[in-house]
Structure 1
Amino acid sequence: MPDRTRRRFTQAVVLAISSCSFAPAWTAGRERGGGAQDVRRHGARGDGTHDDTLAFQAAIDALPTDGGTVNVPAGDYLIDPIVGVQLRSRMLLSMAPGARLLAKPNAAERAYVLNAHRVHDVEISGGRVIGERDAHKGTTGEWGHGVMIRGAERITVRDLHVSHCWGDGISIGGAKVAGGAIVPSRDVVIERVQCVGNRRQGLTIGRSRRVRVYDSSFLDTAGTLPACGIDVEPDAGDVAEDILIERCTVRGNRGAGIQLYKRVADATVRDCLIEQNRGHGVLALGASACVIEGNRIRRNGLGGVGVRPGSREVTLARNEFADNGPSPGRTKDGRARPGKRHVSIAESAVAIKVNADNRFLD
């Protein structure tokens, strides 16, 4: 091949590659058919006062057997979370940037705006889910979630803003099936999501395998404990494992920024900004084989990273710590308060490594 021809061929290949949009490997398996429905065509008004729950469900149920896309144009859609919108397998719920799902005020302890229960190959993209915590009619319960994912596989939530929920912004966990067995959620991706001002957690990761959280923000959670930005906490009887939290901002939460709580294994927190949380920046209790690396961890009230009893094989590497822990002085009962605490490790924790490449700025 002549040099000129070779150069032209090479340039064409580079141009073709640069002009293509490749789906990341972790979303390549979301499969659905080409059917399409619009919630407006099924009676949704989007005026913020008419209950549009049944119209959303009708649009979803109208998809063909091989699934497809349900489009939600801009508007304010009142959704009754006691009924909830039940997502089905092999579908995309595609919301316009101006689409807002408004949770109808209720007194229920458990109520979910969007519910992905025992389904597979589901995507939720765009728009907002706004909870009803400021207008909630009850005083008990902590499970009024914006998005509920239970016992589901190959789920992606992207470019979504979830705020002011009575419980969690997003909750991922297992589902009971016949005979009492628990089926965990598997292969869940949370990407470019914002969870702001929710009452219990920004994001809960419970009984699950392979969860990826990318480029998202978890801010200002407060109202009922644990009040974490992200709480990885499987219920008894199962585990959460193979968890990656990467390039996220976790700020201003009443509890810990990120909590790895009991029966958590193979979790990585990488390249995140974790700051101004009232609890620890990262708190690990009963966690194993976890890595906390490349994060900026600063101005967290109780300390930067706390590794508590039952934890083992936790590695801290390449983190930058600044101004974590309470100011030195005395507690209310007169005891001396030691001051800044970037890293605290329980004596009973096993095989904890704090590498020399961590930076402590004060």
Structure 2
Amino acid sequence: MDPDRRRCLHGLLAGATLAATPMARAANAASRGADLDVRDFGAVGDGRRDDTPAFQAAVDALPESGGTVRVPAGNYLINPLRSVRLRSRMHLAMDADTRLVAMSNAAPRAYVLLLQQVQDVEVSGGRILGDRERHLGSAGEWGHGVMVRGSSGIRLHDLHISRCWGDGISVGGLSGIAGLAPLPSRDVVIRDVTCQGNRRQGLTIGRSRHVQVLGCSFLDTGGVLPGCGVDIEPDPGGDARDILIQDCLAQSNQGAGIQLYERVRDVTIRRCRILDNRGDGILLRAAQGGVIEGNEIRGNGLRGIAVRATSRDFHLRDNRIGGNSGALARRRRDPGERGGMNLDVARGANGIRVDADSRPMR
């Protein structure tokens, strides 16, 4: 064969071989623009291989202007000790049949997806499955499906997050960086998300501003306290404010359906169904300012709505409250409390307005 022709054929074969490698596929995908596929970066989705590096490579390959990382259907093993660390101005778009499966680990704190100090991030579609039954340790309660920390402009929607060692989703602030003041998360929208069977909380909202939780379900939480469907409980040194929880279902959780616990203000709970939780339906402790309206609150093991002393300035209207109390009804009530087991307002709670249409029903 002619030497020049032989060299040409060898070059073509080498080029074809190179194009088949994950590195080459990644380069080709990146060159097509800001719409990338994790398979072009080596993700397999067979439920056996660690796909964390491939996911991270796809995220890191996005240009500064951002873009979309697509995840086709499959079972992708993710190492929560490393996390998939999302970046600003991106969309992680998962197929409805995508599952991100947390690899077993013994860590008290680990996250499948981490959104830390980023802006304008969207996560949609698919499922996140924690390692609750496969966890290798016994300590800690912070093995979360999604951790949002010190971030803004976040949209989480059409997700199913289950069986996490800690929370399905945790939204909070970022602190301890070079002596700076805590950085709360801001402008977070969580829509059409189901958190089910997680060990600590369905959703925790910590230091944050302007959080909307819309059309979500928080089910079967329990294993370690507080065990709430939704717990708004910022750490000391910060607060949570301007929170809307609307058209949600909180059912069969070990703790309260929805809990507002200290350093919380300006919360609206509207048109939610809060059913059959072992704790209170809604618990307010040292919460300030808000509206609880149009909710159905039934069958909870303790009180329907419990307003503890030091809570103030809440308006309760148009709620359907009945069939609560369970075991608590058999206990002797604190004489400093007024109302019944469906609605229980401590005397030290000030500015609590209860309209007639929000009083307990038989």
Query: With structure 1 as the length reference, what TM-score do the two structures score?
Result: 0.88
- Aligned partner letter, 1:102: V
Secondary structure of 2:351's counterpart equals: coil
1:148-173 CA-to-partner distances (Å, cap 9, x unmatched) read 00000000000000000000000000
Residue 110 of structure 1: aligned partner: 109
- Aligned partner letter, 1:291: V
Residue 303 of structure 2: aligned partner: 303
Residue 126 of structure 1: aligned partner: 125
Alignment of 1:274-293 (within 5 A): 274-293=274-293
Secondary structure of 2:39's counterpart equals: helix
CA distance in 2, matches of 1:138, 1:108: 7
Alpha-carbon distance, 1:270 to partner: 0.2
- Aligned partner letter, 2:290: C
CA distance in 1, matches of 2:308, 2:227: 18
Kept after mapping to 1: 8 A contact 2:329/2:341: no
Residue 168 of structure 1: aligned partner: 167
Residue 351 of structure 1: aligned partner: 351
Alpha-carbon distance, 1:337 to partner: 11
Alpha-carbon distance, 1:315 to partner: 1.3
Alpha-carbon distance, 1:328 to partner: 8.1
Kept after mapping to 1: 8 A contact 2:301/2:328: no
CA distance in 1, matches of 2:248, 2:150: 25
Alpha-carbon distance, 1:65 to partner: 1.1
CA distance in 2, matches of 1:295, 1:302: 17
Alignment of 1:72-87 (within 5 A): 72-87=71-86
- Aligned partner letter, 1:37: L
Alpha-carbon distance, 1:346 to partner: 1.1
Kept after mapping to 2: 8 A contact 1:327/1:340: no
Kept after mapping to 1: 8 A contact 2:243/2:267: yes
Secondary structure of 2:58's counterpart equals: helix
1:183-241 CA-to-partner distances (Å, cap 9, x unmatched) read 00000000000000000000000000000000000000000000000000010011100
Residue 152 of structure 2: aligned partner: 153
Residue 63 of structure 1: aligned partner: 62
Secondary structure of 1:274's counterpart equals: strand
Kept after mapping to 2: 8 A contact 1:320/1:359: yes
Where does structure 1 lack aligned partners over 5 or more consecutive residues? 1-33
Moved over 3 A (4+): 327-331, 335-340
Larger fraction in helix? 2
Alpha-carbon distance, 1:310 to partner: 1.4
C-alpha change, 1:289 and 1:328, in structure 2 (3 Å) is closer
Residue 320 of structure 2: aligned partner: 320
CA distance in 2, matches of 1:114, 1:105: 15
Secondary structure of 1:183's counterpart equals: coil
Alpha-carbon distance, 1:360 to partner: 2.7
- Aligned partner letter, 1:187: D
Alignment of 1:220-239 (within 5 A): 220-239=220-239
How well do the aligned residues superpose, as a CA RMSD in angstroms?
1.6
Alpha-carbon distance, 1:181 to partner: 1.8
Residue 95 of structure 1: aligned partner: 94
CA distance in 2, matches of 1:350, 1:70: 50
Kept after mapping to 1: 8 A contact 2:120/2:154: yes
Kept after mapping to 1: 8 A contact 2:328/2:341: no
Number of residue equivalences? 326
Kept after mapping to 2: 8 A contact 1:328/1:340: no
Alignment of 1:143-222 (within 5 A): 143-176=142-175, 177-222=177-222
C-alpha change, 1:225 and 1:74, in structure 2 (3 Å) is same
Query: With structure 2 as the length reference, what TM-score do the two structures score?
Result: 0.88
% identical aligned pairs: 57
Residue 50 of structure 1: aligned partner: 49
1:40 correspondence with 2:46: no
Residue 255 of structure 1: aligned partner: 255
Alignment of 1:260-271 (within 5 A): 260-271=260-271
Alpha-carbon distance, 1:180 to partner: 4.1
- Aligned partner letter, 1:100: R
- Aligned partner letter, 1:227: G
